[in-house]
Chain A
Amino acid sequence: DAKTTQPNSMESNEEEPVHLPCNHSTISGTDYIHWYRQLPSQGPEYVIHGLTSNVNNRMASLAIAEDRKSSTLILHRATLRDAAVYYCILLSTGNQFYFGTGTSLTVIP
């Protein structure tokens, strides 16, 4: 399974942008970069995914480094509801998701 490295925890003030980093230096050319989050006592929830280009959706933006060895999930205005564990996952051929320990995001009112 391809490895990702994320900080264990981060804090953000409410209504401010949050940049959640992920390193994946061993990424291969066909690996997609997926981000999921898990709110307390819930199942994981899809946030965004991309391959090479930056991606935007209604929840977040994904900035992918040119060499693809790192990516950043950007929440444009953090809300209390965004407090969760955020997982950066590489999806290779086949469809196994390997969840790491993720980044626990605390949003401060």
Chain B
Amino acid sequence: EPEVTQTPSHQVTQMGQEVILRCVPISNHLYFYWYRQILGQKVEFLVSFYNNEISEKSEIFDDQFSVERPDGSNFTLKIRSTKLEDSAMYFCASSGGGSSYNEQFFGPGTRLTVL
């Protein structure tokens, strides 16, 4: 069964460093998303991406964040200058074409630890 994959599974970085979290969505999907979950808290929407551009973003997704689909398979989230409060699980998700109401398939997540 096709699945969303994410790398790395755990990333440790120093405050102020740039990190890139990588995701490979399901191959025929057209909608891509990033969410984060701070330990013990709820899952929060960050951004959605369709047709090579951001379609929606939350207030969390400020200028420190950017997303890119550099090739036909990868979908990346870049945090330009990490802060302690960026420590969280980051989930990538994708959904199929035809409707943005389709189910979203989530990856296993990347745990980001900012020291």
Note all chain A residues with C-beta closer than 8 A to B91: 43-44
Chain B residues whose C-beta falls within 8 Å of the C-beta of A43 in the assembled complex:
91, 93, 106-109
Interface size class, chain A: 20 to 34
Is the contact region of chain A dominated by helix, strand, or loop, or is it mixed? loop
Number of cross-chain contacts by CB at 8 Å: 56
| Structural contact, B106 and A45, CB atoms closer than 8 A | yes
Q: Are A100 and B107 in contact (CB under 8 A)?
A: no
Of B95, B105, B106, which is in contact with the most chain A CB atoms at under 10 Å from its CB?
Answer: B106
Closest to A51 in B: B101
Write out the residue numbers on chain B whose beta carbons fall within 8 Å of the beta carbon of A95. Answer: 31, 33, 48, 50, 55-56, 95, 100-101
- For B57, the closest partner residue in chain A by CB is A96
Closest partner residue, chain B, to A48 (CB atom): B103
B43 touches A44 (CB 8 A): yes
A101 sits at the interface (CB 8 A): yes
- Measured between C-beta atoms, what is the minimum distance from A42 to chain B in Å? 7
Contact of A96 among B42, B45, B105, B109 (CB under 8 A): B45
Within 8 A of A (CB), among B23-71: 31, 33, 35, 42-45, 48, 50, 55-56, 58
- Chain A to chain B contacts (Cβ below 8 Å), 27 pairs: A43-B91, A43-B107, A43-B108, A44-B35, A44-B43, A44-B93, A46-B105, A49-B101, A94-B56, A94-B100, A95-B31, A95-B33, A95-B55, A95-B56, A95-B95, A95-B100, A96-B45, A96-B48, A97-B33, A97-B45, A97-B104, A99-B35, A99-B44, A99-B45, A100-B42, A101-B42, A102-B42
18 further A-B contacts with Cβ under 8 Å, apart from A32-B101, A44-B35, A97-B45, are A43-B109, A44-B106, A46-B103, A46-B104, A49-B103, A91-B101, A94-B55, A94-B100, A95-B31, A95-B33, A95-B48, A95-B56, A96-B48, A96-B58, A97-B33, A97-B43, A99-B45, A100-B42
